[in-house]
């Protein structure tokens, strides 16, 4: 029985964890889901490490939604580096799923983007743990999360 932790924030304006959990459950079985919620994205790295060391997670999804200001980009950068540190130190995947408010002007479009990205990252997370061959088959095929796939550069 594997353990997947889903860690999210109160700062985000969309409840992406719901979509991530639904997608994980739809993908298969063989794992238990654990939840942690922290205030903001800078609180994610240590919570992800705690999810691994205290809760025994085999993989963590880190969900966040940085705002529109320049400073939000700086915070996201710092959080991303913290996530890199936690993942490399523990040797366990931390799947970062960030949606920037600036990615869409229309609230409905932004919400749809956030939900889709959470779902697609959740399917990636499942594949990392249970179906590595699925990922390998799609190597170099221009997959995107939330937006339409870019596809191979030129079909062979």
Chain positions 49 to 108 lying near its own copies, rule: CB under 8 A, are 49-50, 53-54, 65, 67, 71, 73-75, 77-96, 100, 107-108
- If the CB atoms of residues 25 and 46 are measured against its own copies, the closer one turns out to be 46
35 contacts 6 by C-beta, under 8 angstroms: yes
Please, which of residues 32-51 interact with its own copies by CB under 8 A? 35-39, 42-43, 45-47, 49-50
Please, which of residues 12-31 interact with its own copies by CB under 8 A? 12-18
The residue within the footprint of its own copies, chosen from 23, 129, 145, 146 (CB under 8 A), is 145
- If the CB atoms of residues 31 and 120 are measured against its own copies, the closer one turns out to be 120
Q: How far is the CB of 153 from its own copies (least distance, A)?
A: 4
Closest C-alpha among 49, 62, 53, 56 to residue 32: 56
Tokens 């956030």 correspond to 114
Exposed e or buried b for every residue in 143-152, given b needs 16+ CB within 10 A? eebbeeeeee
Q: In Å, how far are 36, 51, 122 from 55, measured between CA atoms?
A: 10, 5, 19
């Amino acid at each position: 029985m594997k353990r997947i932790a889903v860690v999210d924030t109160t700062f985000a304006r969309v409840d992406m964890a719901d979509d991530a959990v639904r997608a994980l459950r739809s993908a298969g079985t063989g794992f238990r889901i654990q939840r942690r919620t922290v205030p903001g994205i800078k609180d994610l790295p240590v919570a992800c490490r705690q999810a691994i060391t205290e809760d025994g997670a085999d993989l963590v999804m880190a969900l966040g939604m940085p705002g529109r200001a320049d400073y939000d980009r700086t915070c996201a950068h710092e959080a991303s580096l913290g996530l890199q540190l936690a993942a490399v130190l523990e040797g366990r995947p931390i799947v970062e799923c960030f949606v920037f408010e600036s990615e869409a002007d229309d609230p409905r479009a932004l919400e749809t983007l956030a939900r889709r990205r959470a779902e697609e990252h959740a399917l990636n997370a499942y594949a990392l743990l249970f179906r590595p061959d699925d990922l390998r088959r799609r190597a170099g095929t221009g997959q995107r999360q939330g937006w339409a796939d870019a596809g191979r550069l030129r079909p062979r």
